[in-house]
């Protein structure tokens, strides 16, 4: 079954009674009862499928998890209250019964770096950062650190570098470690990390999958070996996504393939226009033939789909000039997120990478003039006109 068909059908029309809802209903109960205690005993003992308490699972959330498992070609999924919670639980699962050491991409979302350095490291987990696009450096870091887990993004935030998850998965597996991939920017339309050898694929459901900026959530999809531990950890810690948010995510995913295709097309158009603008010093976009990871991108991504994110440096701009540019925008939305139907702009220095020291940001290639654009589904003539008037001041 093709991904576009899976997005519309998987998870729906599960049979709760003689009348089957066409769309998955919202089941918001915290607990569930049966006609007799013997059935409750069998549900708790996993002798029969059923629901006892929403922290362990519920019909609406299970339907979403079934859908994500299909989209990511995994063995099972757990939906969580946010993308960051999904990353935390995935890493914790990966480190269970493994050495408490992580090798991670140095180019990561700022909150992910904070999770590793401010949460996991104080708990005794060794963290080593590496240029994930340099396979020799990755191999050396894995050999020296002997990690239990390797963490990367399919498309890095915000410079849009693309490492090779298949090659990194081979290095990770040879070392007995687990590979956790944040696939939020690429989505299953562009890359399915588990098919390339990763153990975990993690998403912020808030972004492209739900796509409308109206829910917060995350999801972890993993292979069969890690699924029992993932589910046990989830049942104990209780990060479970609520029924209403699960419903919104499923509703959004039905149109996700259509939206993503349009957003990729629009991003290519905007990136080309920005590259020719006199007020733009540099454009970062995976569809650029001169992209440093062009060979990897051509191998990984489907033809014509290069993602819907663009970042660019304003020429000779600092914080004040960037603020003035963003404040002049009339159509592009000034919001701290991405993947919505509308085009959105963000200034990494004050948002996604705010917690990094200025020198750290510069070392990572995130200068004071860098802005990040999440391209929507609008008519690009209107978006380009708005960017143009804001750039010209």
Indicate which residue of 62, 164, 182, 313 is catalytic: 182
Within 10 Å of residue 39's Cβ, how many Cβ atoms? Answer: 15
Angle, CA 209 vertex, CA 169 and CA 3 arms, to 5°: 70
Distance CA 233, CA 355 (A): 29
CA distance 302 to 289: 15
DSSP at 56: T
Residues 6+ apart with CB under 8 A from 341: 211, 212, 213, 259, 376, 377
Give the pair of three-digit tokens for residue 335.
């919001």
Catalytic residue among 51, 56, 109, 247: 109
Please pick, among 55, 98, 100, 231, the residue that the annotation labels catalytic. Answer: 55
Active site residue 182: yes
Give the C-alpha distances (Å, rounded to integers) separating 151 from 99, 189, 198, 307.
14, 21, 10, 21
Cα 107 from Cα 159, distance rounded (Å): 8
**Chain position carrying tokens 């419903």:** 247
Q: Is 109 a catalytic residue?
A: yes
Is position 55 annotated as part of the catalytic site? yes
Nearest to 200 by CA among 296, 93, 83: 93
Q: How far apart are CA 137 and CA 280, in angstroms?
A: 32
| DSSP per-residue codes, 78-123 | EEESSHHHHHHHHHHHHHTTS-SEEEEESS--HHHHHIIIIIIGGG
Tell me the torsion sign for CA atoms 105, 110, 111, 117: positive
Give the Cα separation of 92 and 233 in Å (integer): 8
CA dist., res. 61 & res. 245, Å (int): 9
- Please identify which of the residues 161, 192, 207, 361 carries the catalytic annotation: 207
Active-site residues, by number, are 55, 109, 182, 207
């Amino acid at each position: 079954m093709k991904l576009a068909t899976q997005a519309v059908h998987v998870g729906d029309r599960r049979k709760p009674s003689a009348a089957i809802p066409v769309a998955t209903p919202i089941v918001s109960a915290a607990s569930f009862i049966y006609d007799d205690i013997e059935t409750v005993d069998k549900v708790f003992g996993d002798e029969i499928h059923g629901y006892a308490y929403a922290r362990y699972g519920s019909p609406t959330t299970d339907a979403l998890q079934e859908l994500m498992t299909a989209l990511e070609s995994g063995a099972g999924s757990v939906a969580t209250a946010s993308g960051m919670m999904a990353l935390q639980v995935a890493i914790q699962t990966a480190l269970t019964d493994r050495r408490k050491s992580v090798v991670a991409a140095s180019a990561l979302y700022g909150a992910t770096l904070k999770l590793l350095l401010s949460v996991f490291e104080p708990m005794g987990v060794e963290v080593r950062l590496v240029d994930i696009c340099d396979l020799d450096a990755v191999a050396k870091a894995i050999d020296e650190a002997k990690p239990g887990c390797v963490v990367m993004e399919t498309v890095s935030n915000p410079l849009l570098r693309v490492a090779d998850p298949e090659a990194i998965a081979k290095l990770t597996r040879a070392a007995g470690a687990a590979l956790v991939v944040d696939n939020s920017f690429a989505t299953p339309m562009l890359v399915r990390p588990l098919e390339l050898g990763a153990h975990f694929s993690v998403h912020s459901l808030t972004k492209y999958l739900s796509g409308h900026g109206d829910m917060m959530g995350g999801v972890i999809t993993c292979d069969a070996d890690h699924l029992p531990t993932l589910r046990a950890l989830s049942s104990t810690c209780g990060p479970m996504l609520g029924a209403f948010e699960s419903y919104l995510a499923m509703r959004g995913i039905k149109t996700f393939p259509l939206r993503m295709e349009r957003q990729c097309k629009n991003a290519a158009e905007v990136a080309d226009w920005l590259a020719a603008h006199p007020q733009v010093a540099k454009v970062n976009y995976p569809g650029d033939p001169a992209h440093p990871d062009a060979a990897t991108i051509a191998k990984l991504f489907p033809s014509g789909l290069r993602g819907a994110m663009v970042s660019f440096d304003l020429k000779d701009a600092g914080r004040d000039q960037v603020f003035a540019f963003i404040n002049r925008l009339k159509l592009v939305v000034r919001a701290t997120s991405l993947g919505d139907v509308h085009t959105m702009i963000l200034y990494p220095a004050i948002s996604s990478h705010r917690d990094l020291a200025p020198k750290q940001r510069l070392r990572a290639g995130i200068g004071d003039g860098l802005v990040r654009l999440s391209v929507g589904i609008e008519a690009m003539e209107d978006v380009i006109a708005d960017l143009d008037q804001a750039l010209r001041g």
